[in-house]
Amino acid sequence: MLFLLSFFFTFFLRQTMSHLSTDSYKSFKKSKYRTIKYTTYFSTYDEIFRPYRNKKIIFLEIGVFDGGSLFMWRDFFGPKAEIIGMDLNPEAKKWEKFGFKIFIGDQADQEFLKRTLKKIGPVDILLDDGGHTNHQQILTLINSIHYIKENGLVVIEDCHTSYMRRYGNPSFFSFINYSKKIIDDINKRFFISKSSFNIPQKNIYSISFYDSIVAFKVNRKLSQPNKFIDNGGVSSDPKDFRYDRTLIGFFTDLRLNLKKKSKKSVAIKLIYKILKPFLIFLNFILIKISFINLLTYFKK
């Protein structure tokens, strides 16, 4: 009995304190100066930042506070990385004596942010740990994208503020809601031409969501219109069974059969032309009604 209790206690401890073995946590603990993080962040840091370690990169952190994170990132990324800080508090300039570049200004000031990023040059990773307001997080993402290198990252952390009343949330205008909109934007690349792409569609290749962290992967070459392609192989013309034995399937088969027969008969062609919009609309309504079964999965 004692053995089992010991086993389960050890297992629970490992699960709740898994961050202790991460490299980013070790760098966090090495820092002489104070910095605040959340336990789940360290596994995320290790995962998304691993490809950039021990390489010549430019890492910009917005919100340096007591300076501890600057030293944390210097240790984590290695001596080849240039660690740069940005903060609204002029006192943050004191960290320059330790070899860090520090820029003072408001991240929500679009001109300041663009001017500063242009001065720094293309950035590999931008980590936003600044003011955490909806305005600051959204404007930082949009205004920084053009200054991020190919295969670079914009990482916004402390996204739980999208659910906090002191930040005016929950709200339609929260950063998390904006991130969800970008998911829609990325998937809409299938339907629109590149000339109609907005800023996220032109630049953001993928988005990764973690606990209170959202990472945006910038790759302009891969952010292209999504087009249907056929390999030209032999097809057995299989039947579509996705709506088999349902009203949706019945009306779909009716429409397709009419379409097929309309090629051989002028009368059926006329009937098909008249019924086609109605059958498509009817199927649309039936599909919408079928969504009622999904309600349970969308409950808060």
**pLDDT score of 141:** 97
Residue pointed to by tokens 């240039």: 82
Under the banding of pLDDT at 50, 70 and 90, the label for residue 11 is very low
Tell which residue, 206, 45, 205, 210, has the closest CA to residue 125.
Answer: 45
pLDDT value of position 2: 53
Q: Say what the pLDDT of residue 7 is.
A: 47
Task: Using the predicted structure, report yes or no on whether residue 6 has a pLDDT greater than 80.
Answer: no
Burial 271-300 (b: 16+ CB within 10 A, else e): ebeeeeeebeebbeebeeeeeeeeeeeeee
Amino acid at 216: F
By DSSP bridging, strand 148-157 and strand 82-87 are unpaired
Chain centre distance of CA 261: 47
Q: Are strands 148-157 and 213-218 parallel, antiparallel or unpaired?
A: antiparallel
Confidence of residue 1 (pLDDT cuts 50, 70, 90): low
pLDDT in tens, 238-277: 888 888 888 888 988 899 889 989 988 999 999 999 999 9
C-beta separation of 215 from 153 below 8 A: yes
Q: Which domains does the chain have, with CATH numbers?
A: 23-218 (3.40.50.150), 247-293 (no CATH)
Round to whole Å and give the CA distance between 216 and 20: 26
**Which amino acid, residue 260?**
K
Q: What is the pLDDT of residue 10?
A: 46
pLDDT tens-place string over residues 178-232: 999 999 999 988 887 777 888 889 999 999 999 999 999 999 999 988 888 888 8
Q: What is the pLDDT of residue 159?
A: 98
- Residue 241 confidence (pLDDT): 84
**Portion of the chain with pLDDT greater than 70, in percent:** 94
Secondary structure (3-state) at 85 = strand
Distance CA 196, CA 271 (A): 37
* Helix or strand (DSSP H, E) at 209: strand 204-210
The pTM (predicted TM-score) of the whole model is 0.86
pLDDT in tens, 139-182: 999 999 999 999 999 999 999 999 999 999 999 999 999 999 99
Residue with tokens 């993928």: 206
User: What is the separation of C-alpha 299 from the centre of its chain, rounded to a whole number of angstroms?
Assistant: 23
